[in-house]
Every structure is written in C-alpha cells, then in structure tokens.
Amino acid sequence: MSESFGRLQDAISLSNDGLVDEPQPSRTTGAGSYPYHHPVMAGVTTSLDVFGVLGATILCTHVEPAILMGNGHLALPLADLMSVLGFLMIPKKRSLLYIPNILHISAQIRYLAPPLVIGALLHFVVLYMLHRPTAQIIALSLIWLGICTATLFVLRGGEILILQHPSVTRHLARNIAVIGSDEVATKVAARVAEEAGPTYRMIGVFDDHDTALDSTVTDGTLDDLIARSRESRLHAIILAIPPSSDPVDHVAEISWRLRSVLSDVYVMPNVVHGIDVLLPIERLGPFALLVLQRRPLSDWQIVRKTMLDVVLGAIALALLAPLMGMIAIAIKMTSPGPVFFRQPRLGYNNRNFMVFKFRSMYTDMSDVMAAKQTSRDDPRVTRIGKWLRRLSLDELPQLLNVLRGEMSLVGPRPHAPHTRADGMLLDDALAEYVIRHQVKPGITGWAQVNGARGELVTLDDLRRRVEYDLEYMQKWSLRFDLKILALTVLREIFSKHAF
C-alpha cells in the first residue's frame, strides 16, 4: 500500500477526466452504462462454450455420416477438429462478456456468431480440399453450424435465465461507497445510483472528516464506513474529497485508515489535479478513476484458492480421520474434559470465528481469550498435549474450519482477539497487522515455514511475522500454496519452534 502513496510523487501528468464540475443531466441508459468484468462469470461462460461446442461436434459425428457415401466419412474427424479449433482460437470481444452485457441477446450474437461462422468455413474448406462433392460439403458444414448454434443457444439461454434471477442479480451487484463531503461527492453518488441500474449498488456517501459535517448529506463518517464493511461486502470505494492544500497527505491519510477494508479504493483525478502521479487508471461508467488500492486476491483467484482448499481439505480429512480418532481417544484417557478446544479468532475481513483444535491444556487452566500466550514448558499443557503441539497435530481439527469456509489451508495464522506483543494488542502494536485480514487465515503459512511462529514476545517477533504474511499476499498463486504445504510437511512437523 505504501507503494501507492509513493506513486503520487512520480512523474506523469494526468488529465481531469471524470470530474463532475457541472450538473449532469439525468440519463436513463440503464445497467449497460456501467458494465464490469466478472472473471468468475466470464470463466464459467467460456467453459460452457467450450464444452458446448465439443459436445455438439461429438453429436455431429453421429449425424453427418448418414449423408455421406463411400469412405468420405474418414475426412469428417479432421474437418470437425479444425472447426472446433477455429471456434476456440478466433479472437473474441471480451467486453461482450461483461455484466450486464452478457444478458443482452444482441451481445450474445455478436460474441458467438464470428467464431461459429469461421468454424463452419473451416469445415467447408477442409472437406473441399479433400475433394468431396460440393453439395455434401455444404450440407455437412451446415449441420455442424446448426447443431453447435442450437447447443450454444440452449446453454446461453439457460445462463441468462439464471443470471436474471433476483437472488443472483443481487449477488453479482457491486457495492460501492463514496467518501467526501462536498458537491462532487454527492453528484458522483447520485449519478451512479441513477445510471448504473442493478450493476452497482450505491450504499452511501461518507464524510472524510472525523465527524460528519452535515448528517443530511452524508451517511456517516469514515469510521462508520469501516464498521459497515465488516458486516457486508464492499467492492469499491471512491475518494471524491474536496481538493486540499496538501492533497497527497490527505489522500494518503484516508487510504491508510482504509488499509483494513476489503475493497478496491479509487480516487477522483480532480483530487490530485496538478500533481504528477503514476497510478493505474480504471473506468467506472463515465468516470476515470485512479486506483489506490486493490483487494489482494481477485474473484477468480479466490475461487481457485477455495477449490484447492475444499479438494485437498476433504482428502486430508478423510486420510487423517483414523489418526484423529486415536488422538481423541488419547486425550480423553489422559485428562478430563472435551476433546476439542474452541477459541475465538480474528479471521477474514476482521470477523470473529471459532477455531477448532485438539485440547492440549488442562481444562481448568484453558485460556479461551488468550490473555496469556502459550510458552515453552508451559505447566498448563498436558502430557499428550506437549506431543500434539510439538508435532503440530493439535491443528488438525482446523480442517473442519477449512471445509466450513472460515479458514484456508494456507494463509496468515489467526490470533485470538486478546493476543499481545510487548504488552500491546497486535493491531495497536503494528499498524500493518490488520492488512493480513484481507485474506482467509490458514492452518499453515509462509511465516510458519520460515520459522516465524510460536510465542509473540517482542515487536520484532510480530513485525517479522507480518512481513512474511504480506509477502505471501503479494506473491499468491496456487503453486505458492502447494509449495508452502510441502514445506510444512518437510520443515514444521518437527519444528524447534513448536511447543
């Protein structure tokens, strides 16, 4: 995030696009005025197209030979293969898959017609080059075109019906907030609310001052917006604050206060007009906005990470079930009390959840709120608990948290709300600490496999752990997750830092 602030000092001039200086006439252009790219929906749509064309082509192989004579059917596999490749490889206009463009029949036709026609032409050319009769070539190519078109029509029609369902529409809508207290902020909010239709949902205008200057104009303060982001999804925040004598410091201060908010953060160009900036530019309908902050993982990356968690988590739970059963028996036989220890932890988007662990302490000495961290040779730890903690086996029940969607296999380790370092609560001790809550907490993480685990005693202990967590968020990939999982097995089961 500090890199974004630094870019405000770099050399490139920016125009004043997107500034709402004059009243804009009300327009009723509908949802199409503010299309946006939903990577998950686009990925699902293109995947359906691929499977649809492949399925239709397989169906063609059972229909086409009926109109051929002799050995002509031997050329059909090659013609069908070239048609499929032509459909897949021809460039398509990505914006036609944006929401809500994908709901329009005209956009569907403009997206699918060119690759289908190219595929049919390739089908015709291949058979023509193999000297098939012209009448047969035309018939076969039209059969391929007709079956593929009908299949895609059914698939896209079903998709449109699903996307138009009110619950799906609400889920796909992007929640957006505006920060500011003057006429620019209210005009931006009003224009988005009037023109964006169901594509974006305006949740309010929030004052950039410590206290709201005019409660009739704004919906609360910046702190109110931060609190609201914990309760509901927030996709975008636009800084439309009045230009100040020191806009860089003003924008940096607000952006820093928003560091824990799980949302993309943009700023209107007029706020920093006249200052050399080097920030990405993104459009929201008619507005050109500077990108200050992005969520660490995109929607598509979140889906991929979730799929990895569910698949590997379910497999691990099934394979480790016998071991977990034996551990449960050992715990019950060696000390009175429950098998599992449940403790509140701070997780994704600063929300509390209950983490599951095998109980490793005596029941009457358990510290649910973690007022005192576990230390080496802690007298509260049972005999079996010492081995469970040394081998990190007490963490295995967190596979249940993974399957419940509260945790990930890999991510920053969650801490109890009262955990302290150098006598201070963690978010008070280090300002960057709250940023790690923008991804799901993990059973293991980049900090753990690098030895940054165990008791937090000093600020340096906390700082080192947070640095690894932020590095993980910046470098995330499926390969990186798999690497960390492998290193966990190799390094951490017998880690000297575990106790």
> What does the alpha-carbon distance between residue 467 and residue 447 come to, in Å, rounded to a whole number?
8
- pLDDT reported for residue 13: 32
Average pLDDT, the chain: 83
What is the pLDDT at residue 18? Answer: 38
How far apart are alpha carbons 368 and 419 in whole angstroms?
11
pLDDT beyond 60 at 65: yes
Domains and CATH numbers, the chain: 2-34+173-295 (3.40.50), 39-163 (no CATH), 300-492 (no CATH)
More confident residue, 3 or 360: 360
- Please compute the mean of the pLDDT values over residues 193-200 and round it to a whole number: 87
Partner residues linked to 264 by β-bridges = 236
> 90 pLDDT exceeds 70?
yes
**Two tokens at 422?**
């150098």
The region of weakest confidence among 27-36, 45-54, 140-149, 376-385 is 27-36
Rounded to an integer, what distance in angstroms lies between the CA atom of residue 83 and that of residue 295? Answer: 40
Give the end-to-end CA distance of the chain in Å, rounded to a whole number: 34
Q: How far apart are CA 247 and CA 363, in angstroms?
A: 55
Report field, pTM of the whole predicted structure over 0.85: no
How far CA 230 is from CA of 130, 156, 258, 314, 427, in Å, comes to 65, 35, 12, 29, 16
**Residues with Cβ < 8 Å from 174, sequence gap 6 or more?**
36, 199, 200, 201, 235, 236
Of residues 71 and 287, more confidently modeled = 287
If phi over 0 gives left and psi between -120 and 50 gives alpha, with beta otherwise, what is residue 413?
beta
Residue 319 binned pLDDT confidence (cut-offs 50, 70, 90): very high
Q: Is the pLDDT of residue 135 over 70?
A: yes
Is residue 321 over pLDDT 90? yes
Which has the higher per-residue pLDDT, 481 or 3?
Answer: 481
Q: Is the pLDDT of residue 75 over 60?
A: yes
Residue-wise pLDDT tens digits, 151-184:
999 999 999 999 989 889 888 899 999 998 888 8
Q: Cα-atom radius of gyration of the chain, to the nearest Å?
A: 29
Record the tokens describing residue 146, joined without a space: 């007709």
Q: Which two tokens stand for residue 203?
A: 């949740």
Average pLDDT, integer, range 434-447: 94
**Stronger pLDDT, 228 or 276, i.e. the higher one:** 228
Average pLDDT (371-395) is 79
Separation CA 301–CA 306 (nearest Å): 8
- Sign of the dihedral defined by the CA atoms of residues 484, 486, 488, 491, in that order: negative
Q: Is the pLDDT of residue 38 over 60?
A: yes
**Mean pLDDT, residues 264-288 taken together:** 77
Confidence of residue 19 (pLDDT cuts 50, 70, 90): very low
Does residue 204 come out as left (phi exceeding 0), alpha (psi in the -120 to 50 range) or beta? left
- Identity of the highest mean pLDDT range in 111-115, 247-251, 368-372: 111-115
Angle of CA points 105, 111, 112, to nearest 5°: 90
- Looking at residue 496, its pLDDT comes to 54
CB 407 within 8 A of CB 357: no
> What does the pLDDT read at residue 85?
93
8 A C-beta contact, residue 281 and residue 290: yes
Tell me: pLDDT of 54 over 90: yes
pLDDT at 423: 81
CA distances from 117 to 54, 124, 141, 142 (A): 16, 11, 10, 10
Tell me the average pLDDT across 80-88.
92
- Cα separation, 259 vs 265, in Å, equals 10
Q: Is the pLDDT of residue 363 over 80?
A: no
For residues 434-439, average pLDDT: 92
* Whole-number percent of the chain with pLDDT over 70: 83
Out of 142-146, 209-213, 415-419, 493-497, the most confident range is 142-146
pLDDT at 242 exceeding the cut of 90: no
Beta bridge partners, 361, equal 381
By C-alpha distance, which of 290, 64, 101 is closest to 199? 101
More confident position, 229 or 31 = 229
Share of the chain above pLDDT 90, in %: 43
Bridging pattern class, strands 352-358 and 340-346: antiparallel
